[in-house]
């Protein structure tokens, strides 16, 4: 968000002065938190499901299969 604010102020000073009120990069904190939360949920599920399946296997059978 800090980099986006810096880029917006730079762009509005140098090459977007004719577009008043226009923002090059717009971050809304709520959407940013929702996206981060969704990515965390997907990463958690992607890590837990294979681990849960592996915990239910017999170690000797799992090694014999490979």
Decide if pLDDT at 65 tops 70. Answer: no
Cα–Cα distances in Å, from 41 out to 14, 30, 44, 62?
40, 16, 5, 28
pLDDT at 44: 97
Which of residues 64 and 42 earns the better pLDDT score?
42
Decide if pLDDT at 7 tops 90. Answer: no
Structure tokens at 28: 């809304």
When the pLDDT of each residue in the chain is averaged and rounded to a whole number, the result is 82
**Distance between CA atoms of residues 11 and 5, nearest Å:** 10
């Amino acid at each position: 968000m800090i980099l986006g604010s810096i880029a917006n102020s730079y762009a509005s000073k140098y090459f977007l002065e004719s577009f008043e009120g226009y923002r090059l990069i717009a971050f809304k904190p709520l959407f940013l938190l929702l996206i981060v939360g969704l990515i965390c949920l997907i990463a958690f599920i992607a890590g837990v499901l294979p681990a849960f399946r592996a915990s239910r296997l017999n170690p000797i059978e799992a090694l014999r299969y490979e």
